[in-house]
Each structure stands twice: as structure tokens, then as C-alpha cells.
Amino acid sequence: MSGSELLRLENVSKQFGGLHAVEDVSFSLNRNEILGLIGPNGAGKTTCFNMISGALKPTAGKIFFKGTRIDGLPIYKIASMGIGRTFQIVRPFYSLSVLQNIEAALGMKKYQSKFQYWQKWDTHHTRQKALEILEKVGLADMADYRAGLLPLGNLRRLEIARALALNPEVLLLDESFSGLRQEEINKLSDLILKIKESGVGILLIEHNMRVAMGLSDRMVVLDHGRMIASGSPDSIKNDPKVIEAYLGKGEKKHAAS
Ligand SMILES: Nc1ncnc2c1ncn2[C@@H]1O[C@H](COP(=O)(O)OP(=O)(O)OP(=O)(O)O)[C@@H](O)[C@H]1O
């Protein structure tokens, strides 16, 4: 394990009945690095996220966080160790304010339950910390807005802010850019680079190839659960196996003819 390695998957597989959703996948993620996890629909990307975050237990293989084996540990335990995630579909508390959403996330780190100890979350210290996080993600001006009223771009920032409340060293971002306008994409890219520079390792699932290639230091490509390529964005872009996975064999032949 190198000094900067945060996360490592070793020969990880997940079967659902007879379906091999993820098969024998190995890769690692370092501090200050963005690793793009890409592949066509159904390739196994979200299943990888679910195994890393503890929502699913691998059928085979091992997952390490800073050298400690974490596969099969409960979600809350993995989150409190320092692995945060966002979801494809945003899930804030819509009726709470932006600030309260972060206070709740900070409270969950302490108490590991959503609805207990509400009053204890509401301390001066928690409020200050929540404001600092909102400042970082550019939502401080909207602290008192109801989360349900935010447009999608800001909801995605709020999701990231909630994940940051757990002070993660690894951040799993699941299609954070989907549905955003170019201006919002640029702002979110800047934020993600800033988070990386603060010492976090980021694993990014992204269908927008331009965004994924632009942000990632390295990429891993899955297809039908198997890892078909890994390397720099440039090497991935020109890899015939990757082109074939995205376009399909027929299309490639067609394109070549
Ligand atoms: N809980 C489950 N039970 C059964 N099959 C599942 C389950 N979760 C995922 N799958 C299947 O596993 C395969 C991989 O799915 P996964 O969601 O990981 O792919 P993905 O790469 O994230 O796809 P997308 O880009 O469309 O989100 C798919 O065939 C999917 O239908």
C-alpha cells in the first residue's frame, strides 16, 4: 500500500442470483486524486459504490480503507470512518432549511440516528460548523432557504455539503452533474477540484464523458461487471475496448467502414 493510498478494492465481485453485476474488480484510490469510474448502463458502477459504502456486501473479494478491511461493515460505521457519498437521486430533508440539513448531517456523525437528539444538534458550535461547510460549497447565502425550493444545481451542492459534514477522506460522487446546465457544471467542477486539493480522494461516476475526462486523474472502465480498461483519460479515450463497449461491436464496424 502506498503512503497516499486511501481505498483499495481487491478482486471484488457481487452476484445477484445468477447475474454477475460486478466481477473480479480491483483498483485503488489515492489522496488528492479523482478516479473516474465509467461504463455503459448496467456496467456495475453503482453496485461498486454500494459495496464500498456498506449498502451491499461483496460476494467475493476485499475492500480496504487506509489498510483496514471494511467490506461487510455497516453503512454508519463506514461513513464514520471517513467515506462519504452522494446519490444519483438527491435526498435532502426537503422541509428543513439548507442550514438545518447540514446540522442534521453533523448530528448524525455524533449520534448515528436521524431523529434522535434534535435539540443537541442545535448548538452554537454545530451552527458555526454548518455555516463553514456551506461557505465552502458556495451555499452560505442560502442557509435559511428551504431545501425543497433549491434548483437542482444547488441541491447537488447541498448533497456534497451533507457528505462533507462527515469529514470524509474518500468521497463517492454518483452522477453529480446529471441534468445540470453548463454554467452549473463549471461551478460544480471547481468545487470538486477544491475538495480534491484539500486532501480528499474522490471516486466519480459520471456519464458526461467530457466532464469525467476533464476532472479525472485516472479512470477505470467497467462493462458487464468486468474491468475492461484503466489509465489516464487520454489512454481510455483511445482504447478500442472502451470504444467498443460504448458504441457496440456493430457500431464500431459500421464506423470503421
Ligand atoms: N439489488 C439488485 N438486485 C438485482 N440486480 C441488481 C441490483 N442492483 C443492480 N442490479 C443489476 O446489476 C447490474 C449492474 O447495475 P448497476 O446499477 O451497478 O450499474 P451501473 O453501471 O451503475 O448502471 P447505470 O449507469 O445505469 O446507473 C445491472 O444489470 C442491474 O440491473
- Between CA 51 and CA 210 the distance in angstroms is 27
Q: What is the pLDDT of residues 45-102, one digit of tens each?
A: 999 999 999 999 999 999 999 999 999 999 989 998 999 998 877 788 889 999 999 9
Kindly report the backbone phi and psi dihedral angles of residue 173, in degrees, each rounded to the nearest multiple of 5, phi listed first.
-110, 115
Task: Name the residue among 82, 88, 32, 34 with its Cα closest to residue 203.
Answer: 34
Nearest-10 Cα torsion for 82, 215, 44, 114: 30
- Atom number, ligand 1, closest to the C-alpha of residue 50: 18
Q: Residue 33: which CATH number?
A: 3.40.50.300
- What was the ipTM of the complex prediction? 0.97
- Between CA 228 and CA 131 the distance in angstroms is 43
Q: Read off the C-alpha cell for 100.
A: 438545518
**Does the beta carbon of 19 sit less than 6 angstroms from any atom of ligand 1?**
yes
Q: What is the pLDDT of residues 98-138, one digit of tens each?
A: 999 999 888 765 544 444 555 555 577 889 999 999 999 99
Q: pTM for the whole thing?
A: 0.89
What is the domain range of residue 150?
5-253
**Does the beta carbon of 41 sit less than 6 angstroms from any atom of ligand 1?**
yes
**Can you tell me the mean pLDDT for 39-46?**
95
Look at the chain and report how many structural domains it folds into: 1
* Protein residue closest via CA to atom 1 of ligand 1: 16
DSSP H helical ranges for the chain? 45-53, 75-81, 98-111, 118-121, 124-137, 152-164, 182-197, 209-215, 233-237, 240-247, 249-256
